[in-house]
Amino acid sequence: MSDFTHGFWSIYISVITVVSIIGTWIFLRSHTSRKLAPGEKPELIEHTWDGDLQDLNNPLPRWWLGLFYATMVFSVAYLALWPGLGNFAGILGWTSTGQYESEVQAAEARFQPIYAGFLKQDIATVAADPDARAIGKNLFLTYCSQCHGSNAAGARGFPDLTDNDWLYGGDPDTIRTTITSGRAGVMPPWGEALGADGVKQVTHYVLSLSGRQHDATLAAAGKTKFAENCVACHMPDGTGMQALGAPNLTDKVWLYGGSEATIIETITKGRNGVMPAMTQTLGTTSNKEAKLHLLAAYVYGLSQKQ
């Protein structure tokens, strides 16, 4: 059980539980212990209805009472052995955390030889192994699918990992670094600096870079503003810079959407994207390095199928 914020509540819960069990036992003893004397007939305690239905004060069946008492004995034994009375841990000292940690340790010991074998191989080799891919997929579904989807196709603001478009690079070592240490991508807001007209001009220039429908006059004006404000990250030709995680604006891959309205929103307000470090998520398990290795291999293998 979780610790209570004040010791009073532990005592309160314990007292209520114990009193309830004792009270139930007393109630049963005082109301169900009577037996009919030899020759005694049960008393009619209610009127007869529906012609012949009657309510008599017959004693409860012994087997039913036995089951009731058995449940009380079980409850007392349970509360003595396991948590249930406030902060009392029980004689066995069982906790859900302890059981989880025990199961994790058992699993780590069981799979350690398998993990060790894959850890000796490079990521590209592991990515080609069907058994490694199966393990990597399970790890991905556990730790990564919440953002990237179970099919790794991503969503708005979360990259598609099945293509060959990479913000920070798609080689095995870079993927491993991304998964291990995480990423923090920042697109600063330019709305105040460019103004509404300037934002729209840059938007149409960005649209032109990927061959999308745009206003040529606005794009021409936006090209100058792009050169003044955007090339430091996106490069003069708009192909981006993986060292900073600045996306390539010349392809048709859009992390947040490529419509005019969405690009205006991006330029005006900026974007903040965070990829958490899996070293924190995986904790301090003995096989953490191998799991990171398998995850990197699985993600790398997804894009190699294209």
> Do residues 25 and 55 share a domain?
yes
> Do residues 178 and 234 share a domain?
no
Q: Is residue 129 part of a domain?
A: yes
Distance, CA of 98 to CA of 49 (rounded, Å): 59
Is residue 296 left, alpha or beta, with left meaning phi > 0 and alpha meaning psi from -120 to 50? Answer: alpha
Contact 249, 202 (CB under 8 A): no
Distance, CA of 243 to CA of 228 (rounded, Å): 20
For residue 78, the one-letter residue type is Y
3-state helix, strand and coil shares in percent for the chain, rounded to the nearest 5: 55, 5, 40
Identify the weakest region by mean pLDDT among 180-184, 192-196, 281-285: 281-285
For residue 249, the enclosing domain spans 185-275
> Do residues 14 and 61 share a domain?
yes
Average pLDDT for residues 212-235, to the nearest whole number? 96
For residue 241, the one-letter residue type is M
Q: Is residue 57 part of a domain?
A: yes
> Do residues 198 and 79 share a domain?
no
- 36 falls in which pLDDT band (50, 70, 90)? low
> Do residues 67 and 30 share a domain?
yes
- pLDDT of residue 283 exceeding 90: no
- 101 falls in which pLDDT band (50, 70, 90)? confident
> Do residues 150 and 290 share a domain?
yes
> Do residues 20 and 126 share a domain?
no
Look up residue 277 and give its two tokens.
Answer: 């470090």
> Do residues 84 and 104 share a domain?
no
What values do phi and psi take at 154, rounded to 5?
Answer: 75, -170
Contact 175, 296 (CB under 8 A): yes
> Do residues 176 and 281 share a domain?
yes
- pLDDT score for 152: 95
Average pLDDT for residues 136-164, to the nearest whole number? 94
Q: Is residue 1 part of a domain?
A: no
What average pLDDT does the structure give for the chain? 89
